[in-house]
Amino acid sequence: MVPEFRPSDAWFADWPFDVSTLVRMAATVSAAGDAVPEFLATLTRDESADGVYYRGGYYVEVSGDEPGEQWRIILGSAGEDGFDSVLSAADDLVEALRAAPDDVRLTWQELPATRAPG
């Protein structure tokens, strides 16, 4: 089963730059078949940045798209609803991975908050 992201209290408390805080998490995915490319196809690709996509209030950075490689997917958002947006992104990713016919492996990692660019 593909695990949902369950954030710690410390992740929610890491808000050092007020609304300019960028909250992030990373997912490592393997054996996903076409599930990750299908998830990415639902997003808008940033033509100016390799491996960066957007949807609504969150962004996605991806690497590792060679056959047989693990995917590293970073989900992030900033602003007043940064946490809600990142949790929504995690739910979208989990939903896509659960639809895969393969035995997908997914691990989550909370990343430290940073100052949002701009």
Place of tokens 């998490």: 25
Q: What per-residue confidence (pLDDT) applies to 68?
A: 67
Q: What per-residue confidence (pLDDT) applies to 65?
A: 67
Q: How far apart are CA 59 and CA 76, in angstroms?
A: 5
Q: What is the spatial order of strands in the sheet that 21-30 belongs to?
A: 44-45, 52-55, 58-63, 71-78, 21-30, 105-115
How far does Cα 49 stand from its chain's mean position?
Answer: 16
The correct CATH number of 17-111 out of 3.30.70.600, 3.30.2130.10, 3.40.50.10580, 3.30.420.10 is 3.30.70.600
Q: How far apart are CA 22 and CA 20, in angstroms?
A: 6
pTM: predicted TM-score of the whole model, two decimal places: 0.92
Per-residue pLDDT of the chain (118 residues; tens, 9 = 90+): 799 999 999 999 999 999 999 999 999 999 888 889 999 999 999 999 989 999 988 999 999 866 667 999 999 999 989 999 999 999 999 999 999 887 899 999 999 999 998 7
Q: What per-residue confidence (pLDDT) applies to 67?
A: 64
Place of tokens 């492996």: 105
Domain boundaries, the chain: 17-111
